[in-house]
């Protein structure tokens, strides 16, 4: 893919400005409000909003709400929140349903021009007549109805006289076209369903291609950018734009100009780019919906979900996401991106921006017997090893700390650099400690270590630089706050969960190890963090204070990503 700024779409836009074809760029992002936005949508959002912004143009947010049975105001709100979170601002907020009156007048015009007809074939019959890639379609027996009869039947469709599916309004194009989309596609269907915006005003609803192309024309969109699956629809898109010709027929805009919308009608151009796909995940709204409805995840914002809400809760910043997507660029070649690429981008972003804190996830008490019981001091720590602007903080230290259980081994494996009986390690920022005693319970489980702190190795002392094999993180047992750590991993354990060629579906490929909840401690400063604060917990990974559940008194941290790639097949 070409790097940002030089991709094929940006080149077209620049050429259109240079040639004077357009003086002003206008784009739109047109989600259907039938689910939450996912990672893939980020590419469309960055392309639509990004290109407009780069040229001082405008990008509308338009809800493509032509399928009332599946749409919901919950999604309308969530989509707005997600776009704002990503850092983009729309010009006008519109709904395709704002234009239902225009679509209706335009359909009457097509009928009057002999370019649309009312068809009585059932859905199954339409399919049978439509033919296939190898076989031309057959004309509907209703194709040659008179204009008067068509006008009358369409008026009665609109009046709600007929039941769902009894009739459709079809564009009269070409039943022999090699492009099946051009074989007299339906442009209006009967559906007695309440709409989230228009209530029960309409018993007929426009079909996607017709509504989408005309919505772009109404808003004066110059470049209508979408994904490759719409390439075969472009001839129909152009047909609708050219044959309705809103830019030459302002009278068709009356239903919206009466409501105060400006007349901006123009002729848009559709350009397609490849979808963003990621391995180890599914990204169709239908499948994401199934995961939620079947309880296979903890909701749309489960941190394992590729929804923007999920990714956000996992700890991805808008900066990291935008960096990931912009590096991939834009092309016409479909490809699937390695999950590791996404994770590495987060590591890169976090390494620079995440302040460091200490947390211990599986605690083991370590008592330093040469310090008095009431020893209490505040040690100074840099918040970031490479960025002085992050400042310093005080970390409490006493005669008892927690270290990670896995940082101690009674019988160490070869090459072990951590604590062993009678061995020494550095406790980060506090000095060098020696383990002199291993305390066990009746069952032989290690319950506590005891040892001494080398008082000559304290910060600022001449012995502070003395070399020992390992440095461990720790928290002060007297002031650390009990915390919940939610460890997430890939939701699926195969790279292509969509592949059902072996008879298995994505449900069979869920990774049973994708979520573990652990209980340990964080230093007091981390507990105080506001929700969505992200940290590197030293030696453990990058974590974010959970957006919903984190409290200073009961901290909850989600693991965003490990420090290094540890995924193993
Ligand atoms: P899905 O197929 O996942 O349900 P969709 O294409 O139906 O998604 P829409 O809400 O209709 O979702 O999409 C809004 C815009 O986002 C469209 O222009 C679509 O082309 C684009 N888009 C959707 N998925 C991706 C993706 N994976 N990569 C890039 N753009 C996408
Ligand atoms: Mg869709
Ligand atoms: Mg789709």
Residues in Cβ contact with 146 at an 8 Å cutoff, skipping those fewer than 6 apart: none
Distances in Å between the Cα of 113 and the Cα atoms of 106, 150, 265, 336 are 10, 11, 20, 46
Contact 473, 379 (CB under 8 A): no
Q: Using a 6 Å cutoff on CB, does residue 44 contact ligand 1?
A: yes
Measured from the alpha carbon of residue 228, the closest ligand is 1
Residue 128: half-sphere exposure toward Cβ, Cα within 13 Å? 6
Which atom of ligand 1 is the closest one to the Cα of 48?
18
- Per CATH, 275-356+482-569 and 359-473 having the same topology is answered yes
Sign of CA dihedral 76, 78, 83, 87: positive
Note if 32 is an active site residue.
Answer: yes
Which pLDDT score is estimated for 72?
Answer: 86
Contact 236, 170 (CB under 8 A): no
Which pLDDT score is estimated for 501?
Answer: 85
* pLDDT range class, residue 569, cuts 50, 70, 90: very low
Which three-class secondary structure string do you get for 16-73?
Answer: HHHCCCCCCCEEEECCCCCCCCEHHHHHHHHHHHHHHHHCCCEEEEEECCCCHHHCCH
| CATH number listed for the domain at residues 8-273 | 3.40.50.620
Task: Give the integer Cα–Cα distance in Å for 18 and 21.
Answer: 8
Please write the tens of the pLDDT for every residue from 445-479.
999 999 999 999 999 998 999 999 899 999 999 99
**28, 32, 44, 292: residue to mutate for ligand 1 pocket, most atoms within 8 A of CB:** 44
* pLDDT range class, residue 1, cuts 50, 70, 90: low
Q: What is the ipTM of this complex?
A: 0.95
Q: What are the tokens at 334?
A: 């479909």
Q: Where are the domains of the chain?
A: 8-273, 275-356+482-569, 359-473
Please write the tens of the pLDDT for every residue from 264-291.
999 999 999 999 999 999 999 999 999 9
In 329-431, alpha helices (H): 339-353
* pLDDT range class, residue 4, cuts 50, 70, 90: low
DSSP-derived pairing of the beta strands 26-29 and 400-404 = unpaired
* Residue 486: pLDDT over 70: yes
Max Cα-Cα span within the chain: 102
Please write the tens of the pLDDT for every residue from 280-329.
999 999 999 999 999 999 999 999 999 999 999 999 999 999 999 999 99
The pLDDT mean for the chain works out to 96
Q: Whose CA is nearest to atom 2 of ligand 1?
A: 284
Note if 275 is an active site residue.
Answer: yes
| CATH number listed for the domain at residues 275-356+482-569 | 2.40.240.10
Please write the tens of the pLDDT for every residue from 381-403.
999 999 999 999 999 999 999 99
Q: Using a 6 Å cutoff on CB, does residue 393 contact ligand 1?
A: no
Distances in Å between the Cα of 191 and the Cα atoms of 109, 140, 299, 359 are 22, 21, 30, 57
Q: What are the tokens at 32?
A: 């259907």
Residue 279, helix vs strand vs coil: coil
Contact 300, 77 (CB under 8 A): no
Task: Give the integer Cα–Cα distance in Å for 460 and 375.
Answer: 18
Regarding the domain delimited by 359-473, which CATH topology (the fold level of the hierarchy) does it fall under? Answer: Ribosomal Protein L25; Chain P (2.40.240)
Please write the tens of the pLDDT for every residue from 98-149.
999 999 999 999 999 999 999 999 999 999 999 999 999 999 999 999 999 9
Catalytic residue among 143, 275, 365, 547: 275
Q: Using a 6 Å cutoff on CB, does residue 227 contact ligand 1?
A: yes
Contact 245, 253 (CB under 8 A): no
Which pLDDT score is estimated for 469?
Answer: 87
């Amino acid at each position: 893919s070409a790097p940002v700024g030089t991709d094929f779409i940006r080149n077209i836009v620049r050429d259109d400005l240079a040639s004077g074809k357009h003086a002003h760029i206008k784009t739109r992002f047109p989600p259907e409000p039938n689910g939450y936005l996912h990672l893939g949508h980020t590419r469309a959002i960055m392309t639509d909003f990004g290109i407009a912004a780069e040229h001082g143009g405008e990008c509308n947010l338009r809800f493509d709400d032509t399928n009332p049975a599946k749409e919901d105001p919950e999604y309308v709100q969530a989509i707005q929140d997600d776009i704002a979170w990503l850092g983009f601002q729309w010009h006008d907020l519109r709904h395709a349903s704002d234009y239902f009156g225009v679509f209706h007048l335009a359909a009457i015009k097509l009928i009057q021009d002999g370019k649309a007809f009312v068809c009585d074939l059932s859905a199954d019959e339409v399919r049978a007549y439509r033919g296939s890639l190898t076989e031309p379609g057959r004309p509907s027996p209703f194709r040659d109805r008179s204009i008067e009869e068509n006008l009358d039947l369409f008026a009665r469709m609109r009046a709600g006289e007929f039941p769902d599916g009894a009739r459709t309004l079809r564009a009269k194009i070409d039943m022999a076209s090699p492009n099946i989309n051009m074989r007299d596609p339906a442009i209006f269907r009967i559906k007695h369903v309440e709409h989230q915006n228009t209530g029960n005003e309409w018993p007929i609803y426009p079909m996607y291609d017709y509504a989408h192309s005309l919505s772009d024309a109404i808003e004066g969109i110059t470049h209508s950018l979408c994904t490759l699956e719409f390439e075969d629809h472009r001839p129909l898109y152009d047909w609708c734009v050219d044959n309705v010709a809103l830019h030459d027929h302002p009278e068709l805009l009356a239903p919206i100009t009466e409501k105060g919308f400006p007349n901006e009608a123009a002729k848009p151009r559709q350009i397609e780019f490849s979808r963003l796909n990621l391995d180890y995940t599914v990204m169709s709204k239908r499948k994401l919906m199934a995961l939620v409805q079947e309880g296979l995840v903890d909701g749309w914002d489960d941190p394992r979900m590729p929804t923007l809400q999920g990714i956000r809760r996992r700890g991805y910043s808008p900066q990291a996401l935008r960096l990931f997507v912009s590096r991939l660029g834009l092309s016409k070649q479909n490809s699937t991106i390695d999950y590791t690429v996404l994770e590495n981008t987060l590591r890169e972003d976090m390494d620079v921006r995440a302040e460091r804190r200490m947390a211990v996830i599986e605690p083991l008490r370590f008592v330093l017997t040469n310090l008095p019981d009431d020893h209490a001091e505040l040690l100074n720590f840099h918040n970031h090893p490479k960025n002085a602007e992050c400042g310093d903080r005080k970390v409490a230290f006493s005669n008892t700390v927690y270290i990670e259980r896995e940082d101690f081994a009674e019988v160490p494996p070869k090459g072990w650099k951590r604590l062993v009986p009678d061995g020494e390690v550095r406790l980060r920022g506090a000095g060098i400690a020696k383990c002199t005693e291993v305390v066990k319970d009746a069952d032989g489980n290690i319950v506590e270590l005891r040892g001494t702190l080398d008082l000559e190795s304290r910060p600022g002392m001449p012995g502070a630089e003395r070399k020992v094999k390992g440095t461990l993180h720790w928290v002060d047992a007297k002031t650390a706050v009990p915390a919940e750590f939610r460890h997430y991993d890939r939701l699926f354990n195969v790279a292509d969960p969509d592949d059902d060629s072996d008879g298995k579906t994505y449900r069979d490929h869920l990774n049973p190890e994708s979520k573990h909840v652990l209980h340990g401690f964080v230093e007091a400063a981390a507990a105080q963090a506001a929700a969505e604060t992200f940290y590197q917990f030293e030696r453990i990974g990058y974590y974010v204070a959970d957006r919903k559940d984190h409290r200073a008194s009961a901290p909850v941290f989600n693991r965003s990503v490990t420090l290094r790639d540890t995924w193993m097949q």
